Amino acid sequence: MYKIVFMRHGESTWNLENRFTGWTDVDLTDKGIAEAKNAGRVLREAGFTFDLAYTSVLKRAIRTLWLAMDEMDMMWLPVRNDWRLNERHYGALQGLDKAETAAKFGDQQVLVWRRSYDTPPPALEADDPRTSFADPRYACLPPASIPLTECLKDTVARVLPAWNEEIAPAIRAGKKILISAHGNSLRALIKMLDNISDEDIVGLNIPNGQPLVYELDEDLKPIRHYYLGDPEAIAAAVAAVANQGKAR
Ligand SMILES: O=C(O)[C@@H](CO)OP(=O)(O)O
């Protein structure tokens, strides 16, 4: 049996401001820093150790990983930064207030943009200053691979090769892995692992800073999964994420 731990970053400044974030590189709030440290403490207290960590190229996930590693006294852990674990690109919604967008377009439309499998948010124009074409962290990519928007299906299409080419072989080689990523890149991974239908994935929300353990069989099929930490606090955090896209 293998174990892998997934962790969404702690609260970011745009989580706090309730803005669509996507590939915007915002940092953690003080609460997010505390959540990341707490995730490390919970992992340490539950006796988890790791050989390797993966994260995105966005600082909210990177810093969450650093803080958790520090709390576990595992700053030495090798870390692979992979853009394919980035948050789903939120297109022209990036920077907009989620509740204001829901008031303008309706809760249902915002739910479709936030959670549907194959309907992307409106795309950025190619000359929009919010595009990532000039960002040096993506200089290794052909421009066609740099999204202007993404639905979850598009995120699955980039997360899956990262899993198949990098993460799954490392698990099979016996590495104990911690992944610090984002709400929607983790939804993409979990959809694939648990074979969740396109309809049911709409209802899956991932809370900030809560370690999620997956136990996998020899074929890397999930046996069971569970959050570490207080179940009531986790349920409240999941509900809070779901409610972020509703008009006030
Ligand atoms: O804004 C975002 O990029 C994501 C994660 O914070 O939000 P949502 O939960 O609305 O998909």
Record the tokens describing residue 116, joined without a space. Answer: 């549907």
Centre of ligand 1 to C-alpha 174, Å, is: 32
Q: Is the CB of 131 under 6 A from ligand 1?
A: no
Q: Which positions make up the binding site for substrate?
A: 8-15, 21-22, 60, 87-90, 98, 114-115, 183-184
Kindly report the number of other CB atoms within 10 A of residue 166's CB atom: 17
Catalytic residue numbers, as ranges: 9, 87
* The residue to which tokens 């694939």 are assigned: 192
CATH for 2-243, options being 3.40.50.1240, 3.20.20.70, 3.40.50.1370, 3.30.70.260? 3.40.50.1240
Q: Is the CB of 40 under 6 A from ligand 1?
A: no
Calpha distance 214→204 (Å, rounded):
16
Q: Atom of ligand 1 at shortest distance to CA of 88? A: 3
C-alpha torsion 162→165→168→170, nearest 10: -110
Q: One digit per residue, pLDDT tens: the chain, 248 residues? A: 999 999 999 999 999 999 999 999 999 999 999 999 999 999 999 999 999 999 999 999 999 999 999 999 999 999 999 999 999 999 999 999 999 999 999 999 999 999 999 999 999 999 999 999 999 999 999 999 999 999 999 999 999 999 999 999 999 999 999 999 999 999 999 999 999 999 999 999 999 999 999 999 999 999 999 999 889 999 999 999 999 989 98
Q: Is the CB of 20 under 6 A from ligand 1?
A: yes
Kindly report the number of other CB atoms within 10 A of residue 3's CB atom: 15
Q: Is the CB of 113 under 6 A from ligand 1?
A: no
**pTM value?**
0.97
DSSP helix/strand/coil, 81: strand
